[in-house]
A and B are shown apart, each in its own frame.
Chain A
Amino acid sequence: MAVSVDEAVSTGSARDHTPPARRLGGRGRSVLEVALLTVLAVVMLFPVLWMIETSIKENRDVYAIPAKFFDFTITLDHYKDVFVAPDGGRSALSVSFLNSVVVAGVSTVLATVLGVPAAWAYSRFAVKAKKDQLFFILSTRFMPPVVVVIPIFLMYRQVGLIDNKLGLILIYAAFNVPFTIWMMKGFVDEVPAEYEDAAMLDGYTRLQAFRRFTLPLLVPGIAATAVFALIFSWNEFVFATFLTSSDSVRTAPPAIAGLIGGTTTDWGLVAASSVVFALPVLVFAYLVRKHLIAGVTLGAVRR
Chain B
Amino acid sequence: MSDPAPLTIDNPGQVASTAPPAPGRSRRLSDRGLAVAFISPAMLLLLAMSVFPLLWSLYLSFTDYSATRGGPANFIGFGNYTAILTSAQVHTRALTTLIYVIGAVGLQTVLGFGIAYLISRRTHGRGVLTTLFLVPMMLSPVVVGLFWRFMLDAQFGVVNSMLGSVGLGQVEWLTRQRTALISLIVVDTWQWTPFIMLIALAGLSAVPKYLYEAASIDRASEWFRFRTITLPLVWPLLLIAVMFRAIEAFRLFDLVYILTNGGPGVSTETLSFHIYKVAFLGFNTGTASAYGILMVLVVIVLTQFYLRYLNKLKEG
Contacts and interface: CB of A to CB of B under 8 A. Distances in A.
Interface of A: 2, 13-15, 17-22, 24-25, 33-34, 36-37, 40-41, 44-45, 47-48, 50-51, 54, 62-67, 114-115, 117-118, 120-122, 124-125, 127, 131, 133, 135, 137-140, 142-148, 150-155, 157, 170-171, 173-174, 177-178, 181, 200, 203, 205-208, 231, 234-238, 241-242, 253-254, 256-257, 259-260, 267, 270-271, 274, 277-278, 281-282, 285-286, 289, 292-293, 296-297, 300-301, 303
Given A40-B133, A114-B41, 17 more contacts: A19-B216, A37-B115, A37-B122, A37-B129, A40-B115, A44-B194, A45-B135, A47-B148, A65-B155, A117-B38, A125-B31, A144-B250, A147-B295, A256-B143, A270-B146, A277-B143, A296-B137
Contacts of B107: none
B147 A271 contact: yes
Interface string B192-207: 0111001100100010
Q: Is the interface of B mostly helix, strand, loop or mixed?
A: helix
Contact of B42 (A152, A181, A257): A181
Please give me the 7 A-B residue pairs with the lowest Cβ-Cβ distance, nearest first.
A21-B216, A174-B49, A147-B292, A151-B53, A235-B140, A117-B38, A121-B38
Nearest to B209: A19
Contact of B190 (A20, A47, A131, A138): A47
B46 A177 contact: yes
24 contacts: A19-B209, A19-B213, A21-B212, A48-B139, A54-B150, A67-B156, A117-B41, A120-B38, A140-B46, A142-B251, A146-B251, A146-B273, A151-B53, A154-B56, A174-B49, A177-B42, A206-B30, A237-B254, A253-B142, A254-B142, A256-B142, A293-B199, A297-B244, A300-B240
Contacts of A153: 67
Nearest to B111: A40
Contacts of B51: 140
Contacts of A148: 50, 53-54
B42 to A, nearest CB: 4
